[in-house]
Amino acid sequence: MTGSNETFKEVLRFEDDALLNGSRRFIDDLEPRGTLHIAMARSPVAHARLASIDIAKSSSMPGVHTVLTGEDISRHSTPTPIGWEHIADQRRTESLAMATSTVRYVGHIVAAVVAETRAIAEDAVDAIEIDYDLLPAVMDVDAARETNAPILHSSWPDNVLATDQQTSGDGRSALKSAHTIVDLELDIGRAFGCPLETRGVIADWGLQNQAGSQRSGSVGRLIVDLNSQSPNRVREVLSQVLGVSVSDLLVRVPAIGGGFGAKANYYGEEIITCIASKVCGRPVKYIEDRSESFVATSHARDAKMSVSIGADGDGSIVAFRSDVVGTLGGEVSSVGMGPIWVSTRAGTGSYQIPNADITTTGVMTNRTPFGSFRGWGSPIANFAIERAIDALADRLSIDPIDLRLKNMVRPEQMPFQNGLGWRLDSGDYPEALRRTLKSVTQAGWFDEVTDATSNGRFVGIGLVNFIEATGVGNSRKMGRLPMEQGGFDEAVVRMDSTGTVQVFTGQTGMGQGIETTLAQVCATALGANVNDVRVVFGDTDSCPYTGYGTGGCRTAPVAASSVMLASQDLQGQVLEMAASLLNLDEAELTISNSAVSGPTGEKVTFADIGTAAYRKLNRLPDHHSPTLQARYVWDPVDRTIGYGSIAVMVEVCADTGLVSVLRYHAVDDCGYVINPAIVDGQVMGGFVQVLGSTLMEELRYDEDGNPLTTTFRDYLVPLAGDVPEMTVEHMETLPPDVPSGSKGVGEAGTMAAMSAIAQAVEHALPGGYGWIRSIPLSPELLLHHIDAATP
């Protein structure tokens, strides 16, 4: 679809002006008249039976409207469904949004107070008296799988949510006959999306608005404003658990202060806030505070992996095995163990490995529920394969880059079935690696390392590959799994009587610039000036249905495709009317910059056409029907796989063991780049987030299950001084089955960061490759390594 859209490539973001002057509204900036505030009472212990809850004192405090306990929640709602319940025999918890008899993590909601102000609600939370009968906390997956381990969910025989296995070729038996086998035990710490804006929801379930809902006997229409990446998914879940028809629910999304997957999950607070509004008959607002966010927003990553790789003596990889055990929390989040399961599909990365065997297991522990974080499980899968290759290179004394080039999927093999269920659809993987190497060589990185090393500094370079699965579909294939979720995306494009165009999308903006990129796509396909296009999202009444929401990098491959196809349809309607207005044949017309021209300078603008279509129908012959609107539903054929290579330069401080990343370069192929600045921003921002979880961020617990990281002083996210100089280069291979020509890119930056930094640290220090096995990197470990390796 390249061509005239080049005109708009460099357009600046339409989102920015209102954000720069502080006028754009986020969830906490909204408050309908009469709003009450809700505060959650959360368990201070990791595992216990709720012996008693006494709300008498709390309920009688001035300004308190109601105190809800698990009993109220069970009266008003049914158990929360799990969106990613896609593995055969995946177990169910049947848990409600609030604990009823057992608490399973610190932060588990046990009651909620609705009051005039948030301060009163918080005071009243402190006045609730709760007795807990403590149970032993199960904090790690090994303890959770011991034969006599306490069982978190009493109806289960053990603590395992599900296990999934995928094999190709002869699976792990092929390892035995390999010339060289390397085994690694890997451990990835717990981190989370941690958007700067916490979660929030306002529920207004009054007697307003809807005659229809009165007829069905409910108390009225439920209007929910919240900062979710997936408004339609929230709407369906609320419909299901609250017993309201989907049409009696309006979900709206204001500006969102970052999502990163954390806001793609749905949460109990949303259900509880709706019930609170129903009980009180007033709008109720919940805003998570920062400390709560560390125990209440989905955690992620946290996995142990046992990995083996086998190769011939010349370095041809013949087999790969990975047993991945994910440390889930005390309850199951909306994505189940999806992020862990991804390893079964993504396990072999950018490489052609004839025999593979990957098992993933999700194990419950008394930690915060485990959910989505940008990249899902793919950065973990990347770490396993890239680490294994580094260790293999070390064993075989082959350069890690040569070993990679030897085993990567080659362009002539595309589309390539990876044997684990994923089709790598397009691209030139080795070229991305060669380009990365060339670019950093030309930029003098290796000379810099030589200089630094001769001055006694520990500086090194890491260079690794990644794939990124984007735009999940197809809806029928997904429907065959035991989950109720499609992957299609609907778009509506409408031109008004002034010739201005509105694009209605089911996607959600949360910083990634969809109001700009989707306008670019529409303008190009329609022939409009991009400044005449507005993108509307985040209102389930006016915007189309996109069940999956904004996650898994869907906007560029899926939503942009539906917008493009709808815009082309609208263009046909516009040309037809223009032909009538100009008395010319359609074939003679050209359309661009919001106007249609004939061969000898005849011209009508979109405004002229809009006027005729809505207000002066007499200008058009009878066969034209009024209005200008098109709708398209695009259902992806399959995932489309982005890929690339990245290089980082790091320095290890010999005195402290601390690692600084000095430089970052990426060669990324996400197909057609709609807006280079936005794409680069996604790549760099994603990289910096995982730089954080590689070097400084970790959600830690003590052995009793008390969280040790509940402020930004314990959970250290990257600051301006922690980030390197970053550059991004593009290849643009158009995927074969994607109308927009683009692959997703929002998660690309996260994929290879852990692997690249680990390799670079090993390059900086003596001792070869492949010995770093755990993330975040521990300065103590590095100091110890330096001590042991230097005489």
Per DSSP, what are the bridge partners of residue 114? 38, 66
Q: Which CB, 291 or 316, lies closer to another protein?
A: 291
- CA distances from residue 36 to 40, 117, 285, 387 in whole angstroms, order as listed: 13, 6, 6, 52
704 binds, among another protein, ligand FES, none (CB under 5 to 8 A by kind): none
Give the sign of the dihedral formed by CA 142, CA 147, CA 148, CA 149. positive
Nearest to 337 by CA among 324, 356, 322, 320: 324
> Closest separation between CB of residue 189 and another protein, Å?
18
Out of 258, 347, 400, 636, the only residue in the binding site for ligand FES (CB under 6 A) is 258
> Closest separation between CB of residue 24 and another protein, Å?
6
Residue 745 CA to residue 471 CA, distance in Å, equals 10
16 binds another protein (CB under 8 A): yes
196 binds ligand FES (CB under 6 A): yes
Say which residues have a Cβ less than 8 Å from residue 374's Cβ, sequence separation at least 6: 193, 260, 261, 686, 689, 746, 747, 750
Out of 70, 189, 195, 462, the only residue in the binding site for another protein (CB under 8 A) is 195
Per DSSP, what are the bridge partners of residue 707? 701
> Closest separation between CB of residue 602 and ligand FES, Å?
47
Residue 730 near residue 676 (C-beta atoms within 8 A): yes
Out of 26, 156, 446, 614, the only residue in the binding site for another protein (CB under 8 A) is 26
Residues 451-490 that bind ligand FES (CB under 6 A): none
The count of residues interacting with ligand FES (CB under 6 A) is 3
Q: Residues 208-247: x/- map of binding to ligand FES (CB under 6 A)?
A: ----------------------------------------
Q: Which CB, 430 or 718, lies closer to another protein?
A: 718
Residue type, 603: K
254 binds ligand FES (CB under 6 A): no
Residue 674 near residue 519 (C-beta atoms within 8 A): no
555 binds another protein (CB under 8 A): no
Residue 279 CA to residue 597 CA, distance in Å, equals 60
Q: Which CB, 82 or 115, lies closer to another protein?
A: 115
Residue 93 CA to residue 730 CA, distance in Å, equals 45
Nearest to 546 by CA among 514, 500, 513: 514
13 binds another protein (CB under 8 A): yes
> Closest separation between CB of residue 19 and ligand FES, Å?
8
How many CB atoms sit inside 10 A of residue 11's CB? Answer: 18
Residue 316 DSSP SS3: coil
336 binds another protein (CB under 8 A): no
Q: Which stretch binds another protein (CB under 8 A): 129-137, 468-476, 579-587, 712-720?
A: 712-720
The count of residues interacting with another protein (CB under 8 A) is 58
33 binds another protein (CB under 8 A): no
Dihedral angle of Cα 653, 657, 660, 663, to the nearest 10 degrees = 70
511 binds ligand FES (CB under 6 A): yes
Out of 511, 552, 557, 735, the only residue in the binding site for another protein (CB under 8 A) is 511
Out of 7, 247, 291, 306, the only residue in the binding site for another protein (CB under 8 A) is 291
Residue number closest to ligand FES, CB atom: 196
> Closest separation between CB of residue 222 and another protein, Å?
25
Q: Which CB, 473 or 511, lies closer to ligand FES?
A: 511
Per DSSP, what are the bridge partners of residue 459? 651
Q: Which stretch binds another protein (CB under 8 A): 249-257, 308-316, 451-459, 666-674?
A: 249-257
- CA distances from residue 619 to 323, 569, 608, 611, 775 in whole angstroms, order as listed: 70, 22, 10, 9, 69
Residue 277 CA to residue 764 CA, distance in Å, equals 58
Q: Which CB, 158 or 722, lies closer to another protein?
A: 722
Residue 133 near residue 49 (C-beta atoms within 8 A): yes
781 binds another protein (CB under 8 A): no
659 binds, among ligand FES, another protein, none (CB under 5 to 8 A by kind): none
Secondary structure letter of residue 671 according to DSSP: B
How many CB atoms sit inside 10 A of residue 622's CB? Answer: 6
- CA distances from residue 40 to 128, 267, 696 in whole angstroms, order as listed: 11, 13, 29
Q: Residues 55-94: x/- map of binding to another protein (CB under 8 A)?
A: -------xx-------------------------------
Which residues contribute to the site for ligand FES (CB under 6 A)?
A: 196, 258, 511
Which residues contribute to the site for another protein (CB under 8 A)?
A: 12-13, 15-17, 19-26, 28-29, 62-63, 116-117, 119-120, 194-198, 255-258, 260, 289-291, 510-513, 677-678, 680-681, 684-685, 687-689, 711-713, 717-721, 723, 725-726
